[in-house]
Amino acid sequence: MNKDTTVGLGLHDVARMLRREFDRRARAQGLTRARWQVLWNLSLREGIHQAALAEIMDVAPISLTRQLERLEEEGLVERRVDQTDRRRLRLYLTDQAAPALESLRELAMGVRHQALAGIEADDIDILVRVLGRMRANLCQRTEKEE
Amino acid sequence: MNKDTTVGLGLHDVARMLRREFDRRARAQGLTRARWQVLWNLSLREGIHQAALAEIMDVAPISLTRQLERLEEEGLVERRVDQTDRRRLRLYLTDQAAPALESLRELAMGVRHQALAGIEADDIDILVRVLGRMRANLCQRTEKEE
DNA sequence: AACTTATAATAAGCAAGCTTATTACATGAA
DNA sequence: TTCATGTAATAAGCTTGCTTATTATAAGTT
């Protein structure tokens, strides 16, 4: 109806539904989507420290801290003090993380399959491209106007 | 990199960024995106009761209840007991709601403009269409498998 | 060396969503 | 009419994210 509001609200709703569906399926595994996402990003850059990972994920550092605390409790992540700068904690996955990552990746593919049913491959490519551009447009880190 | 995960996580991230940007700009108005969204949906169907609106928005009834409590406190929404079924509360906007809706709609257009900068109109149409389809794919109300 | 300034991580407290459980009212069957 | 069942709204408590404020460590200046 009012097209001006369709994009933002639509994205918001679909993202919430995806999260809900994922978490519903993943409940048996004991991991939520948010924690899985941290594991996933971390798996690409082991040894990174928290602030840097938070910046890459464009999440507030404190948000990441809490996820990492739980992941550490659950034995999936290890945090070691950086000896060259003792403020920093370097992050590593444990052996337990690999199977968890794999099973959640499969689960995510299942949700993805449900969500994208009946949508043209070309349109999915466009979706991914547009999301990337939107992310860049919004990522301008708080755009400190001095 | 791994394309299987790009859609879900991308959507999630972009939705979060949109919300953050919107709420950042709207802070002066004292309204958040979630409350504005309730007002917006309500404006299209005044007199509806809570459970029906929750279903349309695909949100848990309790989530809506809390938003409506605050909106009522703030004087933007009125809840009147339905006389034919006294369990129900019918919802109405107050006079204060109209200007709030309008100013937030403008604000939303500003965020939208930032987010969509440099993206082809055709691609935006595709985005909206794909989101609609995804929503339908995911909306299958909890899919009670009996 | 002492002092300021910057940065990594965390603490406190708020917002929004969810699941599960309660309470009040409706409705259909005995 | 009474009793069981169903439904609208809410309560309690969890998760995830945010902003703002603290604390510990680094690093640069005088």
Q: What is the pLDDT of residues A99-116, one digit of tens each?
A: 989 888 888 888 899 899
pLDDT in tens, B9-46: 888 889 888 888 888 888 878 888 899 999 999 999 99
pLDDT score of A16: 87
Average the pLDDT over B49-59 and give the result.
93
Residue A91: what are its φ and ψ, rounded to 5°?
-110, 135
What is the phi/psi pair of residue A87, to 5°? -80, -25
- What is the DSSP annotation of B64-104? HHHHHHHHHHTTSEEEEE-SSSTT-EEEEE-TTHHHHHHHH
- Find out whether B131 and A14 touch, Cβ atoms under 8 Å: yes
**Do the Cβ atoms of B125 and A136 come closer than 8 Å?**
no
Residue B7, Cβ density class (10 Å: 0-12 exposed, 13-18 middle, ≥19 buried): buried
Find where tokens 């979630």 sit: B34
CA distance A86 to chain B (A): 31
**CB environment B87-108: b (16+ within 10 A), e (fewer):** ebbbbebeeebeebbeebeebb
* Cβ of residue B32 lies below 7 Å from strand C: yes
- Section A30-59 average pLDDT: 92
Q: Cβ–Cβ of B112/A4 closer than 8 Å?
A: yes
Task: Note the pLDDT of residue A64.
Answer: 96
Domains of chain A: 3-141 (1.10.10.10)
CA distance A72 to chain B (A): 22
Q: Which residue of B has its CA nearest to A10?
A: B131
Query: Strand D: which bases are under 7 Å from protein Cβ?
Result: 6-13, 15-21, 24-27
